[in-house]
Amino acid sequence: MDTRTRLAMIARGEKPPPRVSKRLPSAEARNEAFALIEECARTGQRAPFNDQVKGGSNTFRALADKGLIRIEVYALNWRVVEIRKGALAGQRTMEPPSGGRPYRIIGPA
């Protein structure tokens, strides 16, 4: 559904259907991304960039929606990923060098 149709529905007092991603990552892409995140957390590396995984940000969002990871976004788009489930639960990727507080958190609290 395009934006114009959604706005027309809202103007009429109707509730538009929720937005749905058109590109859901495959199970293979999710598994590969999770393995890469685990490796980065285990070795203390920076979180992977979107272009390092199949499906990019959609894959990270899918993992967060499943409760497998939690993503904290800091200044300059530095991301810290905390593993929430699995053998490395509680492990985090490298913290931002400048410190600070995240301005956005994606995933379970």
Q: Does residue 93 lie within any of the structural domains?
A: yes
How many domains in the chain? 1
Angstrom distance (rounded) from CA 92 to CA 54 = 21
Per-residue pLDDT at 65: 93
Asked if the structure places residue 102 within a domain, the reply is: yes
Predicted pLDDT of residue 21? 57
Identify whether 9 is part of a domain: no
Is residue 82 over pLDDT 60? yes
pLDDT over 90 at 107, yes or no = yes
pLDDT in tens, 1-56: 678 888 888 899 988 887 665 567 899 999 999 999 999 999 999 999 999 999 99
Decide: 37 and 83 in contact? Cβ < 8 Å: yes
pLDDT score for 108: 87
- Tell me whether residue 19 is in a domain: no
Does any domain span residue 16? no
Query: Using one digit for the tens of pLDDT, what is the confidence trace for 90-99?
Result: 999 999 999 9
Range of the domain at 83: 24-106
Q: What is the DSSP string of 69-97?
A: EEEEE-GGG-EEEEE-SSTTTT-B-PPPT
Q: Is the dihedral of CA 29, 52, 56, 48 positive or negative?
A: positive
In a domain, 18, yes or no: no
pLDDT for res 22: 59
d(CA 42, CA 65): 22
